[in-house]
Structure 1
Amino acid sequence: MINSHDILETINMIDNENLDVRTITMGISLLDCVDPDIDAACRKVYDKICRYALNLVKTGEDISKDYGIPIIHKRISVTPVSMIAAACP
């Protein structure tokens, strides 16, 4: 259960000790982008990353605003490109 001491300690950490969230990461699997045609695979990868990560920064800012704690970095992590490229001739 949260008590007043914990709340005051958290406020102190935000105000005086610069409490923040270093990074939020969106993980995106690109395995469904595999295609024997390299141009098609590249297009699928680009489209998927743009579609999924379109609102990542805004969502991070909204979360930061809701909780009052800054989020410093917003990033994406994807399937290793070597796994996608291995399917191309």
Structure 2
Amino acid sequence: MPKVKKVPLRMCVGCQEMKPKRELTRVVRTPEEKVEIDFTGKKSGRGAYLCPNADCLQKAIKGKRLERSLECAISPDIIESLRQGLMK
């Protein structure tokens, strides 16, 4: 019988749904206290996962869920750059 590989699941901080890790976009707070999108999923730092759409980002910002999971304040210019990066 072949071994079945487990698919890693992560929770989107916007919609609060568990989804496969590959479907989500990782937002990371680097050790230098910079918030950025991690397209590789391997940058060091504290990470949070978002669905790649504007609705989940808006919910995460409005409910302060992204700030809570990254444990830092997020400025409006960083929010705008996240919005631009998620639309790609």
Superposition TM-score, scaled by structure 2 size: 0.29
Query: Rg bigger for which structure?
Result: 1
Greater fraction strand = 2
Superposition TM-score, scaled by structure 1 size: 0.28
Point out which structure has higher relative CO (alpha carbons under 8 A, 6+ apart): 1
